[in-house]
Amino acid sequence: MIAIPASTARIQPGAFRDRFHVPPGPDGSESVYFTGNSLGLQPLATRAALMTELDDWARLGVEGHFEGTHPWYSYDEPLKEPLARVVGALPHEVVAMNGLTVNLHLLLTSFYRPTPRRSKVVVIADAFASDRYAIASQIRWHGLDPADNVIAVEPEPGAHLVDDEAILETIATHGDSIALILISGVHYRTGQAFDFESITRVGHEHGCTVGFDLAHAAGNLDLQLHEWGVDFAAWCSYKYLNSGPGSVGCAFVHERHSDNPHLHRHEGWWGNDPATRFSMPESFVPHVGAAAWQLSNAPVFSMAPLRVSLGIFDEATMPALREAGLELSSALLGALESVAGDAVEVITPRQPKRRGCQLSLRFPRGGRAIQEALAGAGVSSDYRHPDVIRVAPAPLYNTVEECGRFAEIIGEVIRR
Ligand SMILES: *Cc1c(COP(=O)(O)O)cnc(C)c1O
């Protein structure tokens, strides 16, 4: 049993750094790794967790499904509680399966059901490509034209950010024709965190279904998906959740949908009630909750890293990580202001409620050269054409000292 500290416990940013492999920079010393929003670092314990599964396979063959250290038949079951704690859900509302975009499609199949009167989808402008493709292809799959059915909420002219108010007004204006609101909880490019609670409430007041892509929000914000009444969500486990490249995706379905017999769903044997799964009943008997959306048996080699990662999140706890994450990004904001002044524009909102770990920095004199200089100085950051650099100090393994070092390096590069 893992002891779970009270949610009021605080942690120092970087308190879990010695549990992770920090990649070396060009001089061989530990880099300043600010790209955990893109690919989180590898926990030291992940290798052994994978070896356990390989050893069980070697030792037990098919018997590993029931006799293994962590029996594969029910491998996903013990993940539900810690996964639910990361996103503020009930255990039967979450499931680890597939990849993020696959899960978006599976959930859109159930939750985007256009009618002649209600067919539109509200999104934030400039959403991540995969989300745009998934939505457009779903709309076409229903025989409709994305050009008439996507409402993208845009920033004010000349601005980078979309006001939460603008989203709520869009919902109010088009309410009767909106089937679905699908928002990226934290925008991948700007780092802006949206107001989940108000969007969900106002969406529901207008009879819309409300879903979120949590790619940049899971393991970053302190989410309360159940309490906020979000209908569904999907996320990946390789960004803030540190489960390794292309690792298993996750999904949330609010319990109010869990026993709706009229729901359309793509079904497979792994979504069947485990009690009768192997007797292979003639027709599908859905598993309770989000697990009913599972199609295939658990990909154990990508779930083992998730199991390790969720153990670390349980030790740290999400409320404490959220506080430590804000401490880091605030330290970074302060340090940047003092060294760089006007030479850098921070696109990400300053208000703590409206951001997570990531800060998106705009360098009007060009971002590419700065990112290359940062890499040379042992800082891992990420560049988005033409002038944005994204940095995301992650509270499990990044420190306030690294934020100061980052700002110093920026200061030097700018003065050159
Ligand atoms: C990272 C990310 C993805 C990636 O999708 P995969 O299916 O995991 O490859 C999708 N959407 C958003 C918003 C992302 O940030």
In a shared domain, residues 286 and 378: no
In a shared domain, residues 390 and 290: no
Output the pLDDT for position 2. Answer: 47
Categorize the per-residue pLDDT at 73 as very low, low, confident or very high, splitting at 50, 70 and 90: very high
Given the DSSP bridges, would you call strands 388-391 and 32-33 parallel, antiparallel or unpaired? unpaired
In a shared domain, residues 207 and 339: no
Which atom of ligand 1 is nearest to 216's Cα?
15
Categorize the per-residue pLDDT at 8 as very low, low, confident or very high, splitting at 50, 70 and 90: low
Q: How many Å apart are CA 193 and CA 353, to the nearest integer?
A: 7
Ligand 1 atom 13 nearest Cα = 128
pLDDT higher than 70, residue 306: yes
Instruction: Look up the domain containing 219 and give its range.
Output: 63-314
The token pair that represents 158 in the structure block: 């000349």
Which atom of ligand 1 is nearest to 246's Cα?
8
Asked whether the beta carbons of 322 and 13 are under 8 A apart, the reply is no
Q: Which residues contact 62 (CB under 8 A, 6 or more apart)?
A: none
Ligand 1 atom 10 nearest Cα = 130
CA of 339 to the centre of ligand 1 (A): 34
Tell me whether residue 31 is in a domain. Answer: no
Asked whether the beta carbons of 151 and 122 are under 8 A apart, the reply is yes
In a shared domain, residues 191 and 288: yes
DSSP codes of every residue in 53-77: HHHHHHHHGGGHHHHSSS-GGGTTG
Which atom of ligand 1 is nearest to 131's Cα?
11
Q: How many Å apart are CA 379 and CA 166, to the nearest integer?
A: 36
pLDDT tens digits for 347-366?
Answer: 999 999 999 999 999 988 77
CATH of the domain at 136: 3.40.640.10
Output the pLDDT for position 7. Answer: 54
Tell me whether residue 230 is in a domain. Answer: yes
What 3-state class would DSSP assign to 117?
A: coil
Q: How many Å apart are CA 89 and CA 104, to the nearest integer?
A: 18
Domain termination residue (choose one: 287, 314, 341): 314
Residues near ligand 1 with C-beta < 6 Å?
99-101, 128, 130-131, 184, 188, 213, 215-216, 236
In a shared domain, residues 171 and 235: yes
Categorize the per-residue pLDDT at 1 as very low, low, confident or very high, splitting at 50, 70 and 90: very low
CA of 127 to the centre of ligand 1 (A): 10
Produce one character per residue of 23-62: b if its CB has 16 or more CB atoms within 10 Å, e if not.
eebeeeeebbbbbbbbbbbbbebbeebbeebeebbeebee
Output the pLDDT for position 184. Answer: 96
Ligand 1 atom 1 nearest Cα = 215
Ligand 1 atom 2 nearest Cα = 215
CA of 412 to the centre of ligand 1 (A): 34
Tell me whether residue 47 is in a domain. Answer: no
Mutation probe of ligand 1 site: the residue of 128, 192, 382 with most atoms within 8 A of C-beta: 128
Tell me whether residue 55 is in a domain. Answer: no
Categorize the per-residue pLDDT at 61 as very low, low, confident or very high, splitting at 50, 70 and 90: very high
Q: How many Å apart are CA 239 and CA 237, to the nearest integer?
A: 6
Cα 277 versus chain centre, distance: 30
Domain termination residue (choose one: 314, 344, 359): 314
Asked whether the beta carbons of 285 and 251 are under 8 A apart, the reply is no
> How large is the C-alpha radius of gyration of the chain?
22
In a shared domain, residues 283 and 223: yes
CA of 41 to the centre of ligand 1 (A): 17
Query: Which of 6-15, 25-34, 165-174 has the weakest average pLDDT?
Result: 6-15
Q: How many CB atoms lie within 10 A of CB 283?
A: 6
In a shared domain, residues 174 and 264: yes
Which atom of ligand 1 is nearest to 236's Cα?
8
In a shared domain, residues 165 and 276: yes
pLDDT higher than 80, residue 154: yes
pLDDT higher than 70, residue 38: yes
* Bridge partners (DSSP) listed for residue 213: 184, 234
Tell me whether residue 127 is in a domain. Answer: yes
* Bridge partners (DSSP) listed for residue 124: 153
In a shared domain, residues 255 and 131: yes
In a shared domain, residues 99 and 209: yes
Global pTM value: 0.96
Q: How many Å apart are CA 90 and CA 83, to the nearest integer?
A: 9
CATH of the domain at 323: 3.90.1150.10
CA of 415 to the centre of ligand 1 (A): 36
pLDDT higher than 50, residue 205: yes
Query: Which of 60-74, 165-179, 375-389 has the weakest average pLDDT?
Result: 375-389
Please count the structural domains in the chain.
Answer: 2
Ligand 1 atom 14 nearest Cα = 215
In a shared domain, residues 270 and 358: no
pLDDT higher than 80, residue 178: yes
In a shared domain, residues 382 and 266: no
CA of 191 to the centre of ligand 1 (A): 14
The token pair that represents 342 in the structure block: 């006007």
Mutation probe of ligand 1 site: the residue of 106, 184, 214, 236 with most atoms within 8 A of C-beta: 236
Which atom of ligand 1 is nearest to 103's Cα?
7
Q: How many Å apart are CA 229 and CA 201, to the nearest integer?
A: 8
Domain termination residue (choose one: 265, 282, 314): 314
